[in-house]
Structure 1
C-alpha cells in the first residue's frame, strides 16, 4: 500500500492529543435571600430614591431603582402606600432614640450640657440630608409623615425641654399645651433650620454646627425668665 506524503507528515493521533470536550462548571444557583433581608434592602434603596426624586414616582420606576421587578416589589409590600409607610417607620421615626427622652430629664447633669448633647446628637444622627429631603418631600406630596412624626415624637421632646428649662430657671410651665410647644420650637426650630441651611441650601459656614447649637442653647436659656411666668407663691 502506497502512503501519500501528506499522510506521512501527520503525527499519529494519540489519546492524549485528541481534542476532548471540557465540561463547563455547574452553574451556581443564587442564594435566595430571606424575605426580611430583601425588604430591608429594598427599603434602603427606596428611601434613597424617594429622598432624591420625591414620593410621587410610579412603582415601576421605584422597582427599577431598587433593582427588583415590579412583581417582586408588590410581593414584599402590598402597595406603594405600604412601602412609604415602612420608609417612614425606618427612615423618619426609626432614627429617633428613645434614650434621648431619658437623658434630657437627667438633672444630675447641667441643663445646658444636656441640651447641647441632645441637639448635637439629634443634628448628626437624625437631621441628615436624606432625612430632611424625605421630610420635606412628604409634606409637598400632602402625606402625613411630618405631622405624624411631630405629634408622636417631637411634641413630647419639646414639653420635656420646656419643663426642664422652667425648673432650672425657677419658673412655671404654662398650662396651655400649645404655648409650651411654641416655646420649645424656639430652640428646636433653630437647630432644625441650621440643618436645612447646611444640608439642603448648601449654605456653608466656617462656624462649626456644634458652636451654632451652643449659641442657640444659651440664647434659649437666657430667654426663659422673660418668657415663662413666675411661680405663684402659695399663701
Structure 2
C-alpha cells in the first residue's frame, strides 16, 4: 500500500500543474466523460472524476456549451485532414483506388471510440455536434465522392447530385460507419483483430460493391 496523500498534498499537486496542462487535462477528461455518459452528463460528475472544483472548471470553460465546443474542435475539426482533398483530386489514381484509400484513412482517423459515441449522443440530444460535422462532410467531402462515382460510371455531368446519388453514397458512408458502431456502441466483434488487413478488406469490399451498384443504377443515364 502506497503512502497516504493528504488533502493539502493533493491541492499542492493541482496547483503545480501549468495552465496549459490543466486545460489539456480538462479537455481530455471531458472527451472521455461525454463519450461515456453523453452530452447530458452533469459537470458536477465530471469535476469529481477529474478531482477538481467547479470553480476551477469554470475558470477555463465558463459554460458547458464552451466545453462542448472545445470537445468538438478536438475530436472532429482537428482530425480533419486537408490532404484528403488532394487524394480525391489525384488524377493518377482510379476512383476505386481513391475511395478505398480515403475510407481506410478516414476510418482509422475518425471512427474511434470517442468520436463515434459522442456523435451518436449528439444526434440523440441537441445535434449541436452532429449537425456541424455533417455540414463539414457536405461541404468538403460529398461533392468529391459524387464526382469520383460519376467518373467511374462514365457519367459526364456536373449537375447537382441527385437524391438517388446521395442516398447511394450514404449507403457506403453509413456502412463503413456501422463497422465502428458495432465495435464502440454494440460491443460486437466484427472481424479478426489479429489481422491488420481485415478492416482494409472490409472497406475495399464495400467500396467495390458501391461502385458496382452505381454502374448498374446509372448505366442508362
**How much does 1:135 deviate?**
0.7
Partner residue of 2:209? 219
Q: Aligned residue for 1:86?
A: 70
Cross-structure match for 1:191: 176
Offset of 1:221 from its aligned partner? 1.2
State whether residues 198 and 204 of structure 1, in contact with CA within 8 Å, keep that contact through their aligned partners in structure 2: yes
Distance in structure 2 (CA, Å) of the matches to 1:34 and 1:104: 42
- The C-alpha deviation readout for 1:72-112, integer Å capped at 9, x for no partner, is 10000110110011101111232221211211111212221
Larger Rg: 1
Q: Aligned residue pairs: how many? A: 204
Q: Does 1:163 align with 2:147?
A: yes
Normalised TM-score (structure 2): 0.82
For 2:199, the equivalent position in structure 1 comes to 209
Instruction: Confirm or deny that 1:136 pairs with 2:120.
Output: yes
Unpaired segments ≥5 residues, structure 1: 1-26
Q: Which segment is superposed worse, 61-70 or 80-89?
A: 61-70
Unaligned runs of 5+ in 2: 1-8, 193-197
Deviation at 1:49, TM superposition (A): 0.8
Rounded Cα–Cα distance in structure 2 between residues aligned with 1:37 and 1:167 = 48
Normalized per residue, the structure richer in helix is 2
Cα root mean square deviation, aligned: 2.3
TM-score by length of 1: 0.78
Would the alpha carbon gap of residues 183 and 70 (structure 1) be closer, same or farther in structure 2, given more than 3 Å must change? Answer: same
CA displacement 1:111-167 (0-9 Å, x = unmatched): 212211111111122101221111111122223211110012355312101101212
Q: Which residue in 2 is equivalent to 1:5?
A: none
Question: Aligned partners of 1:78 and 1:178: how far apart in 2?
Answer: 44
